[in-house]
Homo-oligomer: A and B are copies of this chain.
Amino acid sequence: MVAKEATGRAKPGRAPAPPGRRGRPRQAEVARLAGVSQATVSLVLSGRDLATGRPISAETRGKVLDAARSLGYVPDPAASRLAAARNNLLGVFSFTATFPTDVRHSYYPFLVGVEQEAAAQGYDLVLFTGSSSGGAGASGAGALNRVRLADGCLFLGRHAPADELRRLVADDFPVVHVGRPDDAEGLAWVGADYVSASREVVTTLAGLGHRRVVLVREDDEAPASTDRERGFLDGLSASGLPAGPDAVFRSGDLRRDLTADRVSAWLAEGVTAFVAEETDTGTAWRALRAAVDAAGLDCPGRVSLALLGSPPADLADEPAPMGFDIPRPTLGAEAVRLLAARVAGEPARGTLVACAFRPGTTAAPPAGP
């Protein structure tokens, strides 16, 4: 029967019992007590017998269950996961440092959705911090490799090192980027639908009676900016309003260029509403408000204002501007759903999540002439 005592070697490999494992009973002990084999214990306890048409007699089941209960058996997750070749872990990698307050405002609401959906899908979360030299890997090159310990990973933040990310994607490691990337080559992503949301803001203004609206934006080319502009222009067209180049005011230094005089001039030309893009610093919105205030204009009595996004945290007390909010929890949940699909083998794709329109109190029908 047994026949391999060929080598008379001793037995190496015996490791000292690690903490947390001490007197814990194993399946083998349950098996001995129940008078069956370890394999049977595994089958019964995992319920795999019923599922896979591999019936175990009720009597045996009972004996095993009793034995397990009386010994207080609990499965070792490490062993389970090792044997099952999957660890039920989803990574969340954030490039932005954790400290800045402005990030926390977007990161944690997002995390709420991630957490909820991950739990629903049966995954636990591993948080990788881009800053600091966390975990095994340093922060330099190869830092992203840490995430391979999970079954898949979410990436947040604009400053993702493209090459390293590409490497992961090339290795077929399931990855989902949060925020539409510049170059979505084979990369799965979820993003907010700025185009539709911006369009809705504009059509709503048009519905209030505004015939000339101006968009105020910074001078960059981020997808987030161009999407908003596109939505803005779409909205104008859809409302039958002129969507020419003078409907957009673009400047690299809004604080300097967006003056009270400029605003007054627009009013004289028939402009009755202004729309600011959202940026992480809220520059456009601040400049717009400042200029309108300086011009002594009442809002929404004299001019209507809207913000294509949420106001910066420090302006949370002021009256809510018309605009839209990014449903961060939803975004997080959608990201997890997509990632789970990737892990399950589905191909990469991009997904847009609708934003929530916010009526606010800064818009009203235009004043009479």
**A interface list, Cβ under 8 A from B:** 3-4, 6-7, 15-24, 69, 72-89, 98-99, 104, 108, 111-112, 115-116, 118-120, 122-129, 131-137, 142, 145-149, 151-152, 167-168, 171-174, 317, 343-345
Contact = CB atoms under 8 A, between A and B. Distances in A.
B17 A145 contact: no
Contacts of A136: 74-75, 77, 80-81, 88, 122
Contacts of A151: 19-21
A319 to B, nearest CB: 14
A368 to B, nearest CB: 36
A145 B86 contact: no
Copies of this protein chain in the complex? 2
Given A19-B174, A20-B151, A174-B19, A116 B132 contact: yes
A23 B15 CA distance: 29
Contacts of A24: 148, 171, 173
A183 B73 CA distance: 25
A172 B19 contact: yes
Contacts of A131: 116, 119
Contacts of A17: 84-85
Interface of A is mostly: loop
B133 A129 contact: no
Nearest to A72: B145
A151 B20 CA distance: 5
Contacts of A104: 108, 112
Given A19-B172, A126-B125, A127-B124, A82 B76 contact: yes
Contact of A87 (B22, B78, B172, B343): B78
A137 B77 CA distance: 9
Of listed A74, A99, A129, residue having the most chain B CB within 10 A: A74
5 contacts: A3-B7, A24-B173, A72-B167, A98-B112, A118-B129
Contact of A77 (B15, B127, B148, B171): B148
Contacts of A73: 145
